[in-house]
Amino acid sequence: MDGNGRWAKQQGLPRLEGHRRGSKSVRACTSGCLEAGVEHLTLYAFSKENWQRPPTEVKSLMNLLDRFLAEQTAEIMERNIRLRAIGHLHDLPKKSQERLDRAIEQSAGNTALTLTLALSYGGRSEITDATRAIAREVHNGQLAPEDIEEKTVAAHLYTAGQPDPDLLIRTSGEMRISNFLLWQLSYTEIFVTEKLWPEFTKEDLFQAVRDYAGRSRRYGGI
């Protein structure tokens, strides 16, 4: 979800206003996924690298997360959405962690859409954490090195139990994946739009889905 700051600059507004406007695109995208029958939506909300931003911006982003959880949990329940979160969640402020935990627990039985927020997330950190977990199992005699397979790694990722993404949507025209779901995106189709995230609408989501539907996925075959 890239381009909040650039959108705000173009409008002559503070960066925070771009993040606020971006939260509307989150709602539009989530609603569009429900209408299109998408079962899993993962939003790259805050990366490990984002902690390097100015403290005032980081604090504002955490406040926006709190507000989202406070204001949208009721709608999440009403629309039968299951909320999940991946990343180094212990990095979040305590209040944010508590609100997030409550929303996740409250929505655990919902089935229409699994909405995963990637928070304090980094793809390299995820793979590193998975490697450490596997190494501990080998050290403790629970796993033999020769038995480690791709499915072993997948089972130790934050996304264990979820399917790999079919489609990655990248806004703002950037041609990179920015340390996002590095393992899971191996065969994911990529759709890049020049639109900045605050400009992204439900119709843009449908366009991306239509584009995806017209592609032939061969997974390395013929």
Residue 220 lies in a domain: no
Domain that holds residue 81: 4-210
DSSP code of residue 163: P
We report the CATH number of the domain holding residue 17 as: 3.40.1180.10
Which of 50, 63, 110, 179 is flagged as catalytic? 50
Query: Tokens for 28?
Result: 């539009």
Q: Tell me the pLDDT of the chain (222 aa) as tens digits.
A: 999 999 999 999 999 999 999 999 999 999 999 999 999 999 999 999 999 999 999 999 999 999 999 999 999 999 999 999 999 999 999 999 999 999 999 999 999 999 999 999 999 999 999 999 999 999 999 999 999 999 999 999 999 999 999 999 999 999 999 999 999 999 999 999 999 999 999 999 999 999 999 998 887 777
**Catalytic status, residue 2:** yes
Angstrom distance (rounded) from CA 4 to CA 121: 18
Is 50 catalytic? The answer is: yes
Question: 38: which strand partners?
Answer: none
**pTM across the whole model:** 0.94
* Residue at 35 is within a domain: yes
Does residue 217 form part of some domain? no
